[in-house]
Amino acid sequence: MDKAGAALKLTELFGEYDAVGVIHSIVVELSKYIIIILFAIYTWHCFTVFMGKNEERKDVIYKRQNKIMFGIHFICSLVLFLNSLDWTVIAFYLAQLALLIFVNKAYLYVYRNASKLVLNNMLMLLMIGFVMIGRISQGYMVRQMIFAGIICVLGLFIPLLIEKAAYFDQFGKVYAVLGILLLALVFVIGVERNGSRNWIKIGSFAMQPSEFVKILYVFFIAAFFSKSTSIKNVVKVGMIAAVHVLILVAEKDLGAALIYFITFLAILYVASGRAAYLFLGLGAGSAAAVGAYYLFTHVQKRVIAWRDPWSTIDTAGYQVAQALFAIGTGGWFGMGLGEGLPTKIPVAESDFIFAAISEELGAFFAICLILVEISCFILFINIALRMTRRFYKLTALGLAVEYIFQVFLTIGGVIKFIPSTGVTLPLVSYGGSSVLSTVILFCIIQGLYILNCREVEEVERQPKRQQRR
Partner 1 sequence: MRGSLRDSSADRRTGRGQYLPARQEKERVVERRRGNRQILMLTYCITIVFLCMAGFLVYFMVAQSQSVINNPYNKRQEVLAKKVTKGKILSADGKILAETKTDEDGKDSRFYPYRDMFCHIVGRTVNSMTGIEGKQGYPMLAAHINPLTQLANTFRGEKSPGDNVVTTLDTKLQKAAYEALGSQKGAIVALEPSTGKILAMVSKPAYDPNRVEQEWENLIRYPNEESALVNRATQGLYPPGSTFKILTAIEYIMENPDTYSKFHYDCSGTDSFSGNVINCYGKEQHGSLNLKMALAKSCNGAFAKIGTTLDITKFRKLTERFLFNKSLPVDFEYNKSKFSLTKDSNMGELTQTVMGQGKTMISPLENAMIVSAVANNGEMMVPYVVDHVESDAGRKVTEYHPKSQGKVIDEWVAKKMNKLMQSVVTSGTGYSLSSLPYEIAGKTGSAEFDSEGNSHAWFVGFAPADKPKIAVSIVVEGAGTGSQYAVPIAKKMFGQYLGE
Q: Which of residues 276-335 bind partner 1 (CB under 8 A)?
A: 310, 313, 321-322, 324-329, 331-332, 335
The reply to whether 384 sits near partner 1 by the rule CB under 8 A is yes
Closest to partner 1 by CB, 39 vs 92, is 39
Stretch that binds partner 1, among 90-98, 211-219, 243-251, 409-417 (CB under 8 A): 409-417
For the bound state, the minimum distance from the C-beta of residue 11 to partner 1, rounded and expressed in Å, comes to 12
Instruction: Write out the binding residues for partner 1, residues 364-383 only, by CB under 8 A.
Output: 366-367, 370-371, 373-374, 377-379, 381-382
For the bound state, the minimum distance from the C-beta of residue 282 to partner 1, rounded and expressed in Å, comes to 11
Closest to partner 1 by CB, 116 vs 393, is 393
SS3 letters for 246-271?
HHHHHCCCHHHHHHHHHHHHHHHHHH
Phi, psi of 52 (to 5 degrees): 90, 160
Q: How large is the angle between the packed helices 275-295 and 297-307, nearest 10 degrees?
A: 100
* Distance in angstroms (rounded) separating the CA atoms of residues 445 and 111: 11
For the bound state, the minimum distance from the C-beta of residue 411 to partner 1, rounded and expressed in Å, comes to 6
Contact with partner 1 (CB under 8 A) among 80, 123, 387, 444: 387
Stretch that binds partner 1, among 161-169, 232-240, 399-407, 425-433 (CB under 8 A): 399-407
Instruction: Write out the binding residues for partner 1, residues 433-462 only, by CB under 8 A.
Output: 456, 459-460
Closest to partner 1 by CB, 205 vs 310, is 310
Task: For CA atoms 406, 411, 414, 418, give the dihedral sign.
Answer: negative
Identify the H or E element spanning 192.
strand 190-193
The residues near 381 (Cβ < 8 Å, ≥ 6 apart) are 397, 400
Closest to partner 1 by CB, 114 vs 436, is 114
Closest to partner 1 by CB, 100 vs 132, is 132
The reply to whether 51 sits near partner 1 by the rule CB under 8 A is yes
For the bound state, the minimum distance from the C-beta of residue 400 to partner 1, rounded and expressed in Å, comes to 9
The reply to whether 412 sits near partner 1 by the rule CB under 8 A is yes
For the bound state, the minimum distance from the C-beta of residue 335 to partner 1, rounded and expressed in Å, comes to 7
Contact with partner 1 (CB under 8 A) among 85, 273, 297, 458: 273
Is the Cβ–Cβ distance between 99 and 150 less than 8 Å?
Answer: no
- Total residues in contact with partner 1, by rule CB under 8 A: 71
Stretch that binds partner 1, among 77-85, 146-154, 188-196, 387-395 (CB under 8 A): 387-395
DSSP 154-187: HHTTHHHHHHH-TTGGG-HHHHHHHHHHHHHHHH
Gyration radius of the chain's alpha carbons:
24
The reply to whether 8 sits near partner 1 by the rule CB under 8 A is no
The reply to whether 397 sits near partner 1 by the rule CB under 8 A is yes
What single-letter DSSP state applies at residue 198?
E
In the chain, the amino acid numbered 38 is L
* Distance in angstroms (rounded) separating the CA atoms of residues 387 and 447: 12
* Distance in angstroms (rounded) separating the CA atoms of residues 463 and 466: 5
The reply to whether 467 sits near partner 1 by the rule CB under 8 A is yes
Contact with partner 1 (CB under 8 A) among 415, 439, 441, 450: 415
* Distance in angstroms (rounded) separating the CA atoms of residues 422 and 441: 20
- 280-286 contact pairs (CB < 8 A, 24+): 285/261
